[in-house]
Structure 1
Amino acid sequence: MHYPIPASPEEIADLRQKPVDEELVAAAIAGVITIVRAQGQSLEQLTAQVLADDSLLDVQQRRWLSDVVAQAWDSFS
């Protein structure tokens, strides 16, 4: 992977300056999972945040992303 796993919200925000590709998305998801776990949050809490209504993704996209995050969460266990 060309991108290290971000260890802070600031490092995740810095990824916005990079061109979007599969590796960048994977690094961002891994970073979010790492940070959320370090904060003592659960997969259920993270899933609720992903599924929360926003202007970026529609419902179907949020559900898909939630599934991807859950799979990634399990692979980190």
Structure 2
Amino acid sequence: MNYPIPDSPQDIFALQQKQVDEELVASAIAGVIKIVRSQGQSLEELTAQVLADDTVLDQQQRRWLSKLVSQAWENF
């Protein structure tokens, strides 16, 4: 992978300066999982946050992302 796994929210926000590609998205997801686990949160808590209504993703996109995050959680 061309991008290191982020260790902090600041590292994840810094990814915004990069051109978006599959590896960047994978790195961001891995970083979120790493941070959430270090804070003692569960997959269920993270999934609830992903599924929460927002203005960025529609409901179908949030469900897809939730499944992707769950798979990554199990493999990370």
TM-score range, shorter chain: over 0.9
Residue 52 of structure 1 and its aligned partner are, at CA, apart by 0.3
Residue 17 of structure 1 and its aligned partner are, at CA, apart by 0.3
Identity %: 74
Residue 72 of structure 2 corresponds to residue 46 of structure 1:
no
Q: Which runs of 5+ in 1 are unaligned?
A: none
Amino acid at match of 2:11: E
TM-score (norm 1): 0.98
| Structure 1 residue ranges, 4+ long, deviating more than 3 angstroms after superposition | none
Residue 36 of structure 1 and its aligned partner are, at CA, apart by 0.1
Amino acid at match of 1:19: Q
Residue 73 of structure 1 and its aligned partner are, at CA, apart by 0.1
Instruction: String of CA shifts for 1:47-69, please: whole Å, max 9, x gaps.
Output: 00000000000000000000000
Task: Please show how residues 5-44 of structure 1 align to structure 2 within 5 Å.
Answer: 5-44=5-44
Q: Which runs of 5+ in 2 are unaligned?
A: none
Residue 4 of structure 1 and its aligned partner are, at CA, apart by 0.1
- Aligned residues, how many? 76
TM-score (norm 2): 0.99
Aligned partner of residue 64 in structure 1, secondary structure:
helix
Amino acid at match of 2:75: S
Amino acid at match of 1:12: I
